[in-house]
Amino acid sequence: MESRKIAMWMTDRRERKMTEPTKLLAIKESTTPLFRLELPEGGLDLVILKNKRGDYGIIENVFVEEEFRKRGIATKLVRQAIELAKTLNLYKLTLTCSDSMTPFYARFGFKWHLLGQSHCMRINLK
């Protein structure tokens, strides 16, 4: 999924002033499966990739509209992403974030993980 489409979605979503309940969309035209967890107040993307060990997910674009922050929306979204990842039988979830956000993701069990040159937060699901 190109970043251009994600950027268009973010803009479009703001302009639409979303009021619909939680939606889960699979982007069919993408060769890489991408799920979007979307609430009226914010959303995140879950990109599914594959390696020798199996399917795994990357959480990206975690975002909550400013006026709705500090009310547990991001917490709800990350929990939903973890549940979805389990349903999809993913063996791990990874993400990158700033140092200041580390304690937030650590609450769910994510830990910093170094693999070769790459440094990400990771939770094992199997």
Ligand X SMILES: CC(C)(COP(=O)(O)OP(=O)(O)OC[C@H]1O[C@@H](n2cnc3c(N)ncnc32)[C@H](O)[C@@H]1OP(=O)(O)O)[C@@H](O)C(=O)NCCC(=O)NCCS
Interacting residue ranges for ligand X, rule: CB under 6 A: 62-64, 69-75, 97, 100-101, 103-104
Least spacing, CB of residue 14 vs ligand X, in Å: 13
Q: What angle do CA 118, 119, 122 make, to 5 degrees?
A: 115
H/E element holding 86? helix 73-87
Burial call 74-95: b when 16+ CB within 10 Å, e when fewer: bebbbebbbebbeeeebebbbb
Nearer to ligand X, 71 or 126 (CB): 71
Cβ distance to ligand X smaller for residue 17 or 53: 17
Alpha-carbon gap, residue 91 to 114, rounded angstroms: 17
CB of 124 to ligand X, least distance (A): 20
Shortest Cβ contact with ligand X: which residue?
74
Complex with ligand X: residue 39 or 90, whichever CB lies closer: 39
CB of 52 to ligand X, least distance (A): 27
Residue pointed to by tokens 């889960």: 24
Shortest reach from residue 55's CB to ligand X, in Å: 22
Contact 104, 70 (CB under 8 A): no
**In this complex, which beta carbon is closest to ligand X, that of residue 29 or of residue 66?**
66
